[in-house]
């Protein structure tokens, strides 16, 4: 019975994300890979994990990320962000957008900003963000097993003395998250499909109604970007592709050179999502 429920859950997820025709194509492709035993489909351990003694690897399809929540059907997948891409976009954002200069070096720094990773998974981005001087770093993850892994990884990271920012992990639905006071940097690695993204935008409208200019958003693989493009409350600051380092390119079986990343700023209210 459990196997039947699992198969039905995966089918519902695939139909919601892909539609009937693509669901059939994916199923046939998966069957061919299982019979061919192609080693190229295996994802090697990332040097980030080997270097720091953590476990942030693997690819988990959205149909396998079941928490019992009604939003499970809109999960995309779990996959760890390439460190080279993460550091590039954070350093770009700091250099271009963060307003607070370091009093010693004169360089911009994000000390007034809270970094929030929605769909933080196993915590790779959280750990990397904690090495920057954010006011705080917060991870939000719906799937309890992923959140537990993130907590375990964070304990190892903290024991090594790597964070310079306080880090918190919350196991909850992203659309129920209460943003902290002050300016925020929201980080999204394509965590869910448009129906949940639309609800997240509604929460931003409510919680930042009197805080224009105090929320920036980094969106990797922006499959629901049309929601931000159509919304007059968001201004796109940058969009483009980010090259992988040689180390990342050697082990990454999922990332493409054409993967987009966009940066947005909340500039005012809009009623288009209500």
DSSP output for 125-153? HHHHHTTS--SEEEEEES-HHHHHHHHHH
pLDDT tens digits along 232-242: 999 999 999 99
What number is the average pLDDT over the span 79-94?
Answer: 96
Residue 100 C-beta-side C-alpha neighbours within 13 Å: 10
Specify whether domain 77-266 bears CATH 3.40.50.150: yes
Among candidates 103, 120, 247, which has minimal Cα distance to 171? 120
Across the range 155-170, mean pLDDT stands at 97
Question: For the whole prediction, is pTM greater than 0.85?
Answer: no
Q: Using an 8 Å Cβ cutoff, are 270 and 233 in contact? A: yes
Q: Which of 255, 254, 260, 225 is nearest to 242 (CA)?
A: 260
Per-residue model confidence as pLDDT tens digits over 204-214? 999 999 999 99
Extents of the domains making up the chain: 1-42, 77-266
Quick: pLDDT tens for 163-214. 999 999 999 999 999 999 999 999 999 999 999 999 999 999 999 999 999 9
């Amino acid at each position: 019975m459990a196997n039947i429920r699992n198969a039905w859950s995966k089918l519902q997820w695939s139909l919601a994300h892909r539609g009937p025709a693509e669901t059939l194509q994916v199923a046939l492709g998966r069957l061919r890979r299982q019979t061919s035993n192609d080693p190229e489909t295996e994802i090697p351990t990332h040097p980030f994990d080997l270097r720091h003694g953590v476990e942030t690897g693997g690819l988990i399809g959205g149909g396998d990320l079941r928490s019992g929540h009604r939003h499970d059907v809109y999960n995309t997948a779990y996959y760890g962000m390439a460190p080279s891409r993460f550091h590039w976009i954070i350093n770009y954002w700091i250099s271009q957008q963060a307003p607070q200069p370091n009093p010693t070096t004169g360089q911009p720094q994000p000390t007034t900003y809270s970094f929030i990773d929605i769909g933080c998974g196993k915590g790779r981005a959280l750990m990397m963000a904690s090495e920057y001087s954010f006011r705080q770093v917060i991870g939000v993850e719906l799937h309890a097993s992923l959140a537990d892994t993130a907590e375990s990884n964070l304990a190892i990271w903290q024991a090594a003395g790597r964070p310079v920012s306080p880090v918190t992990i919350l196991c909850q639905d992203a659309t129920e998250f209460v943003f902290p006071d002050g300016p925020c940097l929201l980080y999204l690695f394509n965590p869910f499909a448009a129906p949940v993204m639309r609800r997240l935008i509604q929460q931003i409208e409510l919680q930042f109604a009197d805080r224009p200019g105090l929320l920036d958003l980094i969106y990797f693989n922006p499959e629901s970007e049309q929601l931000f493009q159509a919304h007059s409350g968001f201004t796109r600051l940058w969009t483009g592709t980010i090259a992988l380092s040689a180390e990342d390119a050697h082990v990454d079986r999922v990332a493409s050179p054409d993967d987009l990343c966009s940066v947005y700023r909340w500039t005012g209210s809009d009623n288009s999502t209500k």
